[in-house]
Structure 1
Amino acid sequence: MGTITRVAGALAAATTFTLALPAASALAGPDGGCGKGVVCLYAYYGYNYDGAYPRDLWRDFAADEPYLGDDLWSEGRKGLESGRRVDDDSSSVKNHAGCDVVLWQNPFYTGAHSTFADGRADPFLGGSEVGNNTASSLSIWCV
């Protein structure tokens, strides 16, 4: 009887602990949003296109990504996958990862690259070393 009571008490404590955990941080979202703890890539310059035919393609990352060809853009407010690959298709970036982020021109962290300090954003990657529509991997460097 004592063992059952201890197990029940442990389960109750674990349940209480699980319920007390903080909510996950906000991630990238439509309209150029970018939450804390992630780096956000956007398919269009200026954190997406809002002209005559608006497109809202975005993707967030909380860890290294050796090959962006495995990732698809999220689209619009619902965040549904667009079917369009992120690889060689990023035009702007926001870094809220809490560490430096490096965008690499080639898969597996090779080729030309650009480093973005935490809090830095670039509305048009065309002026960076990595270039516009050429990023194929990203790494997050916490020292």
Structure 2
Amino acid sequence: MSNKVLKPKKASLYQFIQNYSNNIGNCIEFFKSMKWPGEFSCDRCGCHKYYLVKRVGKTKTSYVLECSSCHKQHSLLSGTIFQSCKLDLYKLLLGVFLFLNENKGISAINLCSILDVNHKTALLLENKCRILCH
């Protein structure tokens, strides 16, 4: 029997970009499945049906799931570590992907240039990713 330790295969950046870059629906579905494993359930009435509502702001476009029964709106990021994050869903997901795909994480300076955000934003994202890892 061999004592070799097998390292898990890293995800492909090319595959990630193909799946998420031009398809906001896949990003929404990813965050929805992380927040509501299985299926969406309204915490007010328990309904499983929803509408996707797009909110367009000055600096950010966000998406919420609105219950089709009681019309309560549920944010994809509220109640998560990313609830105050101002990044759009794709940049947020890409930042997390890049951080988790490196052995010791990716530096804030590299995140800053790849995501085209300022250093403080990249540092906050890096710190949130570190919290996720512990």
Per the normalisation by structure 2, the TM-score is: 0.25
Q: Which has the higher strand share?
A: 1
Higher relative contact order (CA 8 A, sep 6+): 1
Considering only CA atoms, is the larger Rg found in Structure 1 or Structure 2? 1
> As a proportion of its length, which structure holds more helix?
2
